[in-house]
Structure 1
Amino acid sequence: MSQQLPDVQADAPDVTVGLSQVGVTGVEKLVKIARNGKRPIVLMAEFEVFVDLPSWRKGADMSRNMEVIDEVLEAATREEAYRTEEVCGDAAERLLEKHDYTTKAEVSMEAEFVRRERTPATDRETQHTVDILASATATEEGTREEIGARVVGMTVCPCSQGMSVARAKQKLEDLDVAEGKITEFLDEIPQPGHSQRGHATLTVEADGDPDVDLNDLIDVARDSMSARIYNLAKRPDEDHMTFDAHSDAKFVEDCVRSMAEGVVDRFDGLADDAVLTMKQSNDESIHQHNAHAERVVEMGTLRAEVNGD
């Protein structure tokens, strides 16, 4: 006769304080994303899974959480999903159903995604990597899903470039170059400024299917910086990237505002209550610190600001 094991997690805690998140992190699973008419994309994804915990309960059922996440993600791998965020949403909803003591379940996922592209000057095929970010929060009111990406690019500081422009102008004046020629030269040839590698993050959170194409999100984030960067770059490509970046110098704040403009232009059909998270972080090249800017805003508010309403 088997002995009934005690459910210690269901006991009352010594300190009756509720917890907003209890769960597991670092759960690695394969996820298969379907594509119309093409082979599916297989991602090695890392998940975080949380539920809230009331003050009267000592612990969450960690084994039950893992059982549910295994069931959901194994099914997603076998059957294929069309959106990474729906995998998170399905898992969050099932977690909520399995726990009679919880009011909220959260599942987030991060995975590396590889896209093919061509170099800007030599037109050679190459690849670039993107971090896919997906999550979902399930409550009794419904499920909110989030999809987004974190990308890498290049930025040039307008301030240091402005000082270089002033120096070049002074030198050309000392050489008795005509004012019109100086202006023409400086308009055509961007002057140096300190550059840095930039990291742009863009996510969209909405009820149900937000109807957002992940590739469009990636493109908006990449184009918000001074220039795109590429894994493969011959000398003509390097020259192209350098010229492009210095022709469009941007502060970290400018990158977030450029991202906002791109979102409104590309995703104007998003519901007003969709929440946009836009972040830019630059690895500064002449400082030991880094620069950061971000905005979290509902689509209706952002649309009004960008359009000047």
Structure 2
Amino acid sequence: MKELKDTQNERDDRNLAIDRVGVKGLRFPVEVSDKGGTAQRTVATVALAVDLPHHYKGTHMSRFVEVLNSHGSCIDVRTMANLPRELLKRLDARKAHVEFQFPFFRSKAAPVTGRAGLMDYEVRFEVEAEKDGPLDFIVTVMVPVATLCPCSKQISDRGAHNQRGVVTYSVRCKEPVWIEDLVELVERSASCELYSLLKRPDEKAVTERAYDNPVFVEDLVRNVASRSNAHADITWYRVEAENFESIHNHNAYAVIEKVG
């Protein structure tokens, strides 16, 4: 076969390095172990990237997909953590970034009747590697919660407005922490957790639980941050909460990030 021209390897004279270049929006099967000891198979949306020195015109996009597919039809978390180092070698890069985002399912029993239903949570794994440097692994969980307004409860003779919100919680850890434990830490910080299946006795219970535990969006992020500070294995966190207000045409928002 006639040798084809490698345009990507041509020199670029604009003297501008690129921080990240690669592929995103790939869908790929992944296998994640849950706290119960079973392997949960799900589908991730994947992004793979490396840095590009100023003198190269382009990178080889096909090599990202080759590295991903070289592990067969399903990737587990350990394999996922090794992908950045493989990209460093395959693309002769100094930095590599890998991101997998996927739905993670838990069976939750309703608080009174015990009826079980599946709840889904978005989870994101981000892994970065530098040549001759350590891996950086960030786990993010996106947890829907319920919040009830303390101010509304104080000023109203009957009831208080409440809403659903989402907490986006990212951590770095000394030792691996279960996805379920991160989800539960967030849920304990809200007025009430959410369920997929509630009968009338359950609905009464969660409504009253939220009423007895009002939190502002500010309280929500502080509660998560406080519990994170007390966790022996969490070394860094970023907690972001957004409440979809039920009586306003705006959302309430707060964020705390641990420095260092």
- Structure 1 length-normalised TM: 0.78
Letter in 1 for 2:88: L
Name the SS for the 2:215 alignment partner.
coil
Distance (whole Å) between structure 1 residues aligned to residue 26 and residue 155 of structure 2? 49
Paired residue for 1:254, among 219, 225, 228?
219
Aligned counterpart, 1:120: 111
1:236 to 2:201 alignment: yes
The structure-2 alpha-carbon separation of the partners of 1:48 and 1:259, relative to structure 1 and needing over 3 Å to count, comes to same
Aligned counterpart, 2:162: 195
Distance (whole Å) between structure 2 residues aligned to residue 97 and residue 210 of structure 1? 27
Aligned counterpart, 2:232: 268
Distance (whole Å) between structure 2 residues aligned to residue 36 and residue 254 of structure 1? 28
Runs of 4+ in 1 over 3 A off after TM superposition: 34-39
Aligned counterpart, 1:220: 185
Distance (whole Å) between structure 1 residues aligned to residue 245 and residue 90 of structure 2? 47
What are the within-5 Å matches in structure 2 for residues 150-229 of structure 1?
150-164=142-156, 168=157, 192-206=159-173, 210-229=175-194
Q: Which has the higher helix share?
A: 1
Distance (whole Å) between structure 1 residues aligned to residue 136 and residue 208 of structure 2? 42
Residues 61-87 of structure 1: CA deviation (Å, up to 9, x unaligned): 101111112224x2754xxx4xx3x34
What are the within-5 Å matches in structure 2 for residues 1-309 of structure 1?
2-13=1-12, 15-34=14-33, 38-72=37-71, 74=72, 77=75, 81=76, 84=77, 86-100=78-92, 102-140=93-131, 141-164=133-156, 168=157, 192-206=159-173, 210-265=175-230, 267-270=231-234, 274-298=235-259
Distance (whole Å) between structure 2 residues aligned to residue 87 and residue 259 of structure 1? 30
Aligned counterpart, 1:304: none
Name the SS for the 1:22 alignment partner.
strand
Distance (whole Å) between structure 1 residues aligned to residue 70 and residue 151 of structure 2? 54
2:29, 2:73 within 8 Å by CA — same for their partners in 1? no
The structure-2 alpha-carbon separation of the partners of 1:94 and 1:163, relative to structure 1 and needing over 3 Å to count, comes to same
Letter in 1 for 2:190: M
Distance (whole Å) between structure 1 residues aligned to residue 70 and residue 239 of structure 2? 33
Name the SS for the 1:276 alignment partner.
strand
Distance (whole Å) between structure 2 residues aligned to residue 162 and residue 210 of structure 1? 42
Count of residue pairs the alignment pairs up: 259
Aligned counterpart, 1:173: none
1:198, 1:225 within 8 Å by CA — same for their partners in 2? no
The structure-2 alpha-carbon separation of the partners of 1:200 and 1:129, relative to structure 1 and needing over 3 Å to count, comes to same
2:141, 2:170 within 8 Å by CA — same for their partners in 1? yes
Name the SS for the 1:240 alignment partner.
helix
Letter in 2 for 1:127: L
Percent identity of the aligned residues?
30
Distance (whole Å) between structure 1 residues aligned to residue 226 and residue 253 of structure 2? 18
Residues 245-269 of structure 1: CA deviation (Å, up to 9, x unaligned): 111111111101111122234x224
1:155, 1:227 within 8 Å by CA — same for their partners in 2? yes
Letter in 2 for 1:66: V
Could you tell me how far 1:130 is from its partner in structure 2?
Answer: 0.9
Could you tell me how far 1:144 is from its partner in structure 2?
Answer: 0.7
Distance (whole Å) between structure 2 residues aligned to residue 202 and residue 135 of structure 1? 13
1:151, 1:201 within 8 Å by CA — same for their partners in 2? yes
1:201, 1:221 within 8 Å by CA — same for their partners in 2? no
1:200, 1:222 within 8 Å by CA — same for their partners in 2? no
Could you tell which deviates more after superposition, 223-232 or 26-35? Answer: 26-35
Residues 170-222 of structure 1: CA deviation (Å, up to 9, x unaligned): xxxxxxxxxxxxxxxxxxxxx5221111101222125xx63212211110112
Residues 2-39 of structure 1: CA deviation (Å, up to 9, x unaligned): 21111111112363311111111111111123469854
Distance (whole Å) between structure 1 residues aligned to residue 33 and residue 81 of structure 2? 17
1:149, 1:202 within 8 Å by CA — same for their partners in 2? yes
